[in-house]
Amino acid sequence: MMLKGSGPGYNPSQSQSDFPYSFNEEGYLRHRETYEPYRFTFKLSDVQGTEREHQTLCHYITQHVYSLLEEKLHLIRFYLEEGSFVFLSPGALEHPGSLMVLIQDWGSMRCGVWSWKIVAHEGLERGSQIPYLRWAALESCAVILMNPNEGGQTMERHVWLVWERLISKSCAEHIFVVAHGYGGLAFVDLLCHWLDEVENRVKAVAFLDSSHSLWHQPLGKAGRDWLKSHSRTWILSTKPLNRSVGSLKAGCPQISAGTECHDCAPAVCMESVFRFFTKIMKPKAPPTPFEIITRSKSRRSDPNNNSPSY
């Protein structure tokens, strides 16, 4: 169920403390009294009540993740316009190294969340963006978390605003983008209109079960060529993670996401995405050249013309 209008702006009748579930130390949502996992309910006799319950759940998860981003990970809110903001690491725009940008799918997900349903069922490690932020910290990589479902604007406009006001002004040498679902379509829309700037700044894009289309979006040959060499697409598949899938006409290398679950893709693909980025950040050193010494060459270089012993 896609609840476009829910989230932090929703004002449920229950306060945060009244919500019967809370996160334990391991990041799992458990009932405050019974310690049972959260169970989604759907009552045909009370569809509106079911929707309110899911909105309350989304609101609670969003506020909890926001508190973790600000209090534990020390990220900063940056307001683009009224009602629209993103999170970024301190000094992200001045950081000269790498910058990772995360774009979630369309829906009710807010900053720091790939899927609130996966968070509710499987915990923060699987459904939130926090593991990606830990990797960024280990790699001394700045981060910007987009928030395209907040503020009432389209995802495409949000991505444009973040690029124009933040990413384009950053000092980062390497910019990496992770785009899930419709987030991939919004990034390709940006590429269609800011091709030269994006090509010059972005080093790699990881599309996770993305909704973009290289043939239905007006990207052009130059943009398609750039994506072919600077992006990877992880698609839902029964094949193990990292196996080649798709066709040569896909526009960029396609590999298996290792899952058939759209909401699970960011978590399952995470290590593979990191290896893709690391390979670009830390390319292999060129092989050291060496000479093959032949017998005739060694004789010429030996002033006494002594033959080598064997």
Q: How much is the pLDDT for 79?
A: 95
* Segment 56-104, tens digit of pLDDT: 999 999 999 999 999 999 999 999 988 899 999 999 999 999 999 999 9
204 bridge partner residues: 176
Go through the domains of the chain in sequence order and give each one's CATH number: 75-283 (3.40.50.1820)
Prediction pTM value: 0.84
Helix axes 182-193, 155-165, angle to 10 degrees: 50
Count helices and strands (H / E) in the chain: 10, 10
**Two tokens, residue 140:** 């001394």
Confidence of residue 17 (pLDDT cuts 50, 70, 90): low
Give 304's pLDDT tier (boundaries 50, 70, 90): low
Per-residue pLDDT averaged across 146-155, rounded?
A: 92
Distance of CA 98 to the CA centre of its chain: 14
292 has a pLDDT exceeding 90: no
